[in-house]
Structure 1
């Protein structure tokens, strides 16, 4: 078709194996130059237009959207760039299929209840971007209005580090962690508790009780008390209180109460669980829970000497 011959839209449709309405739509969308017209108004396509329509057909069969096709034809992007983007899209689709398979296997093997199955289905249907958006919205709710440089506000960045994707071959522990985190970030009460901790941290002052208290020592002594079965309020517990505060003010009821209240504000088993689950997904080294030891201290400080 290089002799000046022009084809009607029906002839182009037959040659390319495309419906007439598709050829008309691509033409009207500007993917080919406007064709010539007969005196009766019928479209006539030259060889260049037919070749261009053939390329559009090929690109569409590869799964490219019309925007990508238009940019390619306008020479704003190379074929290699478009192909690379398509490969990334296919990779994302493959990851999603693997994720769905993994989650369904978890349902099959664990005898997951109906509510868990609903969560699995909802999470698997989301894109990676949508799953990250859930985490971002949770962090925004918890930290809204806090200055970026406020004490406690730095937690926001770390709390966004929930992986949007599970590993290609996740362990049963990672699947369980991912689902549990999904439930946590969807819970407004949990977001409210995180915000309470962040706001309290932002309002900390040098006058707060024991701002320089050694947190590592506190956890160590509290862990020892738990391991030895020391009851809050007992003489052994009071000896540990004196050892922790070791400045002669261990018997000050006001100081003890203020410190217990301060510890309670920043102690929450679910918040600590959030960090543990993030660690499972991100491959961080596991850590021993500190909340039980701190809760022992809260009880010991509130007990009458």
Structure 2
């Protein structure tokens, strides 16, 4: 052989690579590993180039790359870099799916087997699929925007995509489930597109000078943020002093009594661009994405609107006997 390495038999290739003889013969029969030549007895022989080709085939197959793709790599139609990049992305998706499945199994193992839990887990396992991921993507891409303000609102929504982490907590799983239920509602889709970007705080108070309106809204925001931070529900009795303090500021600014008409006018003004369901959606997104949110930066209007409209025994102040002025319009 003039000093050249002797050709390898199939058995020799198997010994050098650890690949079964039967598998090597299959690769040879399908054309992935054509023999370098045959000896006089008709047995296949392979050179070192074929040995390297076999090792390449083995690596790609160990990475679960299909035979058609392997053939394209060997024939030069695809580079190893292209194949590795594509399969790395696919493998990453598989890993994320497996981690989510692991979280669901751990959640199931840590809870009981009540009918409620079985129902919850059934819904969670469904939402963990690619179909649920596509649901969010389709929801965001399908939002209609027919005005500049609406287009800005939709753009803001698309920068804050709810993305369930690889190892979600129970709270994140529950929030993700609620998001998928919300965005499946056509009415909510339209509502979210309209209300995603509310007007500036001071603009919400029609008929009040901007400087005075800004002061009122700043006070209201701080008062509500403190209540929310303390866990005060807007319908509870603990919310009464908070609401009364905010209303007192408005009565002084508007020079009119604290009565049902004023409170309803305030609720209408504050509700513009601040639907409670929209605020709920944003809170769910923050939960799913694990964002740290400062209470003072959250929309406070839905809490205050609910508190203003909650029926309570109300004691009228000393100005209640005076004829009140019409609220600004």
Same fold (TM over 0.5): yes
Q: 1:270 aligns with which of 268, 277, 284?
A: 277
What is the CA deviation profile of residues 176-202 of structure 1, one whole-angstrom value per residue up to 9, with x for unaligned ones? 33333333333333223212425986x
Once the two structures are TM-superposed, the CA of residue 102 in structure 1 deviates from its matched residue by 1.0
Equivalent residue for 1:39?
A: none
> Per the alignment, do residues 254 and 125 of structure 1 end up closer, same or farther by CA in structure 2, a change over 3 Å counting?
closer
Secondary structure at 1:152 match in 2: helix
Q: 2:124 aligns with which of 120, 124, 129?
A: 120
> Per the alignment, do residues 282 and 98 of structure 1 end up closer, same or farther by CA in structure 2, a change over 3 Å counting?
same
Q: 1:209 aligns with which of 199, 206, 210?
A: 206
Once the two structures are TM-superposed, the CA of residue 100 in structure 1 deviates from its matched residue by 0.7
8 Å contact from structure 2 (residues 204, 269) kept in 1: no
Equivalent residue for 1:152?
A: 153
> Per the alignment, do residues 56 and 238 of structure 1 end up closer, same or farther by CA in structure 2, a change over 3 Å counting?
closer
What is the CA deviation profile of residues 60-87 of structure 1, one whole-angstrom value per residue up to 9, with x for unaligned ones? 13212456535643285347x7557656
Equivalent residue for 2:23?
A: 18
After superposition, residues 1-305 of structure 1 pair within 5 angstroms as 16-18=21-23, 27=31, 47=47, 52=53, 55-66=56-67, 69-70=70-71, 72-73=73-74, 74=76, 77-78=79-80, 86=87, 89-111=90-112, 112-126=116-130, 131-147=132-148, 150-160=151-161, 162-166=162-166, 168=167, 170-198=168-196, 209=206, 212=210, 213-214=213-214, 215-220=217-222, 227=238, 229=240, 239-243=248-252, 246=253, 260-280=267-287, 281-287=289-295, 290=300, 291-297=302-308
Secondary structure at 1:105 match in 2: helix
Distance 1:163 1:153 in 2: 17
> Per the alignment, do residues 76 and 21 of structure 1 end up closer, same or farther by CA in structure 2, a change over 3 Å counting?
closer
Distance 1:177 1:32 in 2: 53
8 Å contact from structure 2 (residues 60, 70) kept in 1: yes
Distance 2:63 2:204 in 1: 66
8 Å contact from structure 1 (residues 209, 258) kept in 2: no
Distance 2:125 2:95 in 1: 17
Distance 2:305 2:218 in 1: 11
Secondary structure at 2:110 match in 1: helix
Once the two structures are TM-superposed, the CA of residue 101 in structure 1 deviates from its matched residue by 1.6
8 Å contact from structure 1 (residues 221, 240) kept in 2: no
Once the two structures are TM-superposed, the CA of residue 298 in structure 1 deviates from its matched residue by 6.4
Secondary structure at 1:113 match in 2: helix
Once the two structures are TM-superposed, the CA of residue 116 in structure 1 deviates from its matched residue by 1.7
> Rg larger in 1 or in 2?
2
8 Å contact from structure 2 (residues 7, 46) kept in 1: yes
Give the length in aligned residue pairs: 271
- Which structure 1 segments of 5+ residues have no match? 8-13, 37-43
Equivalent residue for 1:11?
A: none
Distance 2:152 2:56 in 1: 58
